[in-house]
Amino acid sequence: MDADKEQFLHPLMAFLDVSNNESDRGKILVAAAQIDGMLEDIVRAFLIDGKQADALFDGPNAPCSSMFNKANIARALGLISANEFEEIDIVRRIRNEFAHSVHRTMQDPKIADRIACLKVGLERLIEIDDPAIADPKARFTMSTMSLVSSLYNRAHYVSKRSATLVEWPQ
């Protein structure tokens, strides 16, 4: 593999490696952290650089300090699709369940029901009723991998259509 491709694929491969070696809790936290970071990169790529953009993300009262707010802003700006937003929100809710309970697994009925709502990248498997998607861990892994893959280079493309400073008449 040439250096350019390796540089491009390295973060994605690192995510896959880390995620594959995790417990249920770890897999969910790693996927949510990856998606959260990608959302920040996507929104930042759209904004005009500067202290005001930084203030949106940094600090305890920053409006974009949560995954929920980042996803809402990305959707409101048209930077992610409605389907991506819905999937991100499901992953966020699953992450919150694991963050607030020590004894959760992906097999817990409440968690398994939420995971069953994940659909990105699984359309064909759902259509043919593939048994692989019946397992919550497999479904979560496949869906979040598809979501991460679809968001993977989004910040790069968003930066090409980012906001520009306009001097308004006084």
Contact status, residue 57 vs residue 74, Cβ threshold 8 Å:
no
| Residue 97 is assigned to a structural domain of this protein | yes
| Amino acid letter for position 74 | A
The count of domains in the chain is 1
CATH at residue 150: 1.20.120.330
Which domain, by its residues, includes 19?
A: 3-159
| Residue 26 is assigned to a structural domain of this protein | yes
| Residue 167 is assigned to a structural domain of this protein | no
| Residue 31 is assigned to a structural domain of this protein | yes
| Residue 102 is assigned to a structural domain of this protein | yes
Instruction: Please give the chain's pLDDT, 170 residues, in tens.
Output: 566 556 667 777 777 778 788 888 999 999 999 999 999 999 999 999 889 899 999 987 899 999 999 999 999 999 999 999 999 999 999 999 998 888 889 999 999 999 999 998 888 887 777 787 889 999 999 899 999 989 988 999 999 998 888 888 98
Alpha-carbon distance of 9 to 107, in angstroms, equals 32
| Residue 166 is assigned to a structural domain of this protein | no
This prediction's pTM: 0.89
